[in-house]
Amino acid sequence: MTHTDARMRYNLFQLDDKLEIVEMPASHAYQLTALNRRLHKEIDKLTAGNVPPLARIVAECDNLELFDERLQIVSGLEYINELERQFASIQETTYPLISLLTEIRALQAQLEQWYEEEYGA
């Protein structure tokens, strides 16, 4: 299945042997890439026992042709909502987790606004 939409880019994430594809507005895809890289820099500093595993960004592309129907494309807003939920549940006491959550929530707000403007939803 080919996915081509000039408004969208695709971020590919990998966690162990699992691939995850996130469809992002082209204007915001780089922000998700930068956020993922920042989270990876900081995640080892978290001392809580319930830190979720974090997939690593492996690619960003404009057009996507899927040959494995088992792979699903997740909307950027759905992805960032889940990321926010996971990081909000971390019981961290020593590292200022709030700065990471602030970055996640900033992108979340931008995506909500983008989707509302584009789709009226």
Average pLDDT over residues 7-11: 94
Domain that holds residue 49: 2-119
Only one residue has tokens 């990081």, namely 87
Better-scored residue on pLDDT, 56 or 50:
56
Res 26: pLDDT: 94
Question: Please, what is the end-to-end C-alpha distance for the chain in angstroms?
Answer: 26
Write out pLDDT tens, residues 64-75: 888 998 899 999
Helix (H) or strand (E) holding 106: helix 97-119
- Please, what sign has the CA dihedral across residues 68, 70, 74, 79? negative
Round to whole Å and give the CA distance between 113 and 98.
Answer: 22
Better-scored residue on pLDDT, 21 or 4:
21
User: Is pTM, for the whole model, over 0.95?
Assistant: no
Round to whole Å and give the CA distance between 17 and 62.
Answer: 23
Average pLDDT over residues 20-25: 96
Round to whole Å and give the CA distance between 39 and 56.
Answer: 9
Round to whole Å and give the CA distance between 110 and 116.
Answer: 10
Write out pLDDT tens, residues 88-113: 999 887 777 888 999 999 999 999 99
Overall number of domains in the chain: 1
Better-scored residue on pLDDT, 37 or 6:
37
Average pLDDT over residues 43-55: 89
Question: Percent of the chain, pLDDT > 70?
Answer: 96
Residue of 60, 61, 57, 108 whose CA lies nearest to 80: 108
Q: Say if residue 22's pLDDT is above 60.
A: yes
